[in-house]
Amino acid sequence: MGGGRRSAAPRIRTEGSEHVVTTALETEPEAPEPVPDEDEPAPRAVRAVALAVLRLLGALVVPIAAFFGLWLTFDWMRDADVNRFVLVAVAIAVGVGGVFLLYWAMNRTVDHLPERFREGVRPYVFVGPALVILGVFLVYPVINTIVVSFGDSQGEGFVGLENYEFVFTDESMLRAIRNTFGWVVVVPAVATSIGLAFATLADRLRRGEAVAKSLIFLPMAISFVGAAVTWRLIYSFRPEGFGTNIGLLNGIKMGLGMTPTPWLQERPWNNLLLMVIMIWMQTGFAMVVLSAAIKSIPDEIIEAARIDGASEMQVFWRITVPSIAPTIAVVVTYMVINAMKVFDIVFVIGSPETNQTEVIAERMIYWFIRNHDGRSGAIAVILFVLVIPIMIWNIRRFREQEATR
């Protein structure tokens, strides 16, 4: 028990000093307080229990109150026949302001607790809701998905590893795994390289850096679905007799006197054409993040290198790249995860099976729609397992970085 208290003690100090915005003045004098009645043994156990209860309460009150508050609001909004703008205003007021008020009120309530509990409870008030939300919306679904993945098409009867067997034997699934692997390798590599090149070159521009960067960043603002629809038109193909080819690519080809190509059916290259869409969208992101990193490299280092006679290529490879390596890692991780869960592009472009452009996430939705929860669940679990190593690597790298800071 004493251990628990001791481990909480240092946290109290750091968290307390950070969170107490409203009560900073009131709490400050008691910070160095040495806790006077420490040596009575019986009350200590009672106090520990009380503290645990208070912490639990503190952690649960906000999410539960928020839930009921929102529920009531939604109930009211569903039945209310008022102006839509009023509804929106109320939704925003309750959703954002209400939550803010809840925290504020809880924080004030904690101030009224006996002094010895105050700072032991406060962190839980703030962290609790996040944990509850994580549990309800993340942990529970993950566990449920794993359970479903061992079930039959309705997600009920137990079928053992049958669904996993399907995942690793079905022709279409195997293609999906192969294609996803392609996405994970090609998209981050190409998008990061182009992004890095642009970032480096744009950095040298005397004028128009902002404009150039904005242009490349622009696709980022489009949704995957929107981008896919746009590119579907770019790749559009109509055989002879079915009207004019409106696709940009075929337009260029025909302008050069060649015959149009059914781009989206050119297996397996059509996969690359789909990846181009994601690359087009994500290059801007890579560029912006890397550009910021490049700008933070101290000029003295680069100047020193130049004075020492380094060529521009040497500066780039020996100084720029190593200096921004951590940022590159972040960008690549982000893209790997994005590529791994790509679905919208493949789905919107259409006919993944016929064109053999299946990817794992697309298969997951496919089997969900075809009423096979078991297979869908198994595919989801596979996807989840594939993401884990990247997450671990990411967290580890993050810790190392924190340690060296």
Partner 1 sequence: MRLRRFMAVTAVLALFVAACGDDDDDGGDEGATDTEQEASGENTGRVNVLAAVEPEEAEVIQTVLDEHINADADYTAELEASGNFEEEVEIRAEGGTLDVILLPQPGAVIEHARSGRAISLEDMGFDIEELEAQFGEYLLSLGEYEGEHYGMPTNVNLKSMIWYPKQAFDEAGYEVPETWDELIALSDQIVEDGGTPWCVGFESEGSSGWPATDWMEDIMLRTAGPEVYDQWVNHEIPFNDPAVVTAGEYFGQIMFGEGYVLGGPEQTPSIAFGDAPGPMFQDPPGCWLHRQASFINAFFPEDAEAGVDYDWFPFPPIEQDGVLFAGELAVAFRDAPEIRDFLERFAGEEVQCAMGGEPGSARLSPNINVEPDCYANEILAESSEIVSEALANDTGRFDASDLMPSRVGAGSFWTGMLQYVQEGPDSLETVLDEIEASWPD
Give the residues lining the site for partner 1 (CB under 8 A).
Answer: 18-19, 21, 63, 66-67, 70-71, 74, 78, 91, 95-96, 99-100, 103, 126, 129-130, 133, 137, 153-154, 237-243, 262, 264-265, 347, 350-351, 353-354, 365-372
Residue 48 Cβ vs partner 1, minimum distance, rounded to whole Å: 27
Residues 6+ apart with CB under 8 A from 133: 63
The smaller minimum CB distance to partner 1, of residues 155 and 188, is found at 155
Cis amide leading into 268 (omega within 30)? yes
What is the DSSP secondary structure assignment for residue 264, as one 8-state letter? G
What is the C-alpha to C-alpha distance for residues 273 and 345, in angstroms, rounded to an integer? 11
In terms of residues, how long is the chain?
Answer: 405
**Residue 117 or 237 having the CB closest to partner 1:** 237
The 8-class DSSP code of residue 259 comes to P
Between 4 and 350, name the residue whose CB sits nearer to partner 1: 350
Q: With both helix axes pointing from N to C terminus, report the angle between 248-255 and 224-234 in degrees, rounded to the nearest 10.
A: 20
**CB of 360 vs partner 1, minimal distance in Å:** 17
> Which residue type sits at 349?
I
Distances (CA, A) of 391 to 338, 384, 387: 13, 10, 6
Q: Which is nearer to partner 1, 200 or 376 (CB)?
A: 376
Q: Least Å distance between CB 131 and partner 1?
A: 10
103 or 217: CB nearest partner 1: 103
**Residues 351, 286: Cα–Cα separation, whole Å:** 30
Shortest separation between residue 130's beta carbon and partner 1, angstroms? 5
Nearer to partner 1, 183 or 366 (CB): 366
Q: What is the dihedral of CA 115, 116, 118, 119, to 10 degrees?
A: 130
Q: Smallest distance, Å, CB 305 to partner 1? A: 35
> Least CB distance from residue 373 to partner 1, whole Å?
10
Could you give the CA distance from residue 327 to residue 329 in angstroms, rounded to a whole number? 5
Task: Say how far apart CA 189 and CA 118 lie, in whole Å.
Answer: 51
Cβ closer to partner 1: 167 or 336?
A: 167
Q: Please state, in angstroms and rounded to a whole number, the distance separating the CA atoms of residues 30 and 300.
A: 47
At its nearest, how many Å lie between partner 1 and the CB of residue 81?
Answer: 10
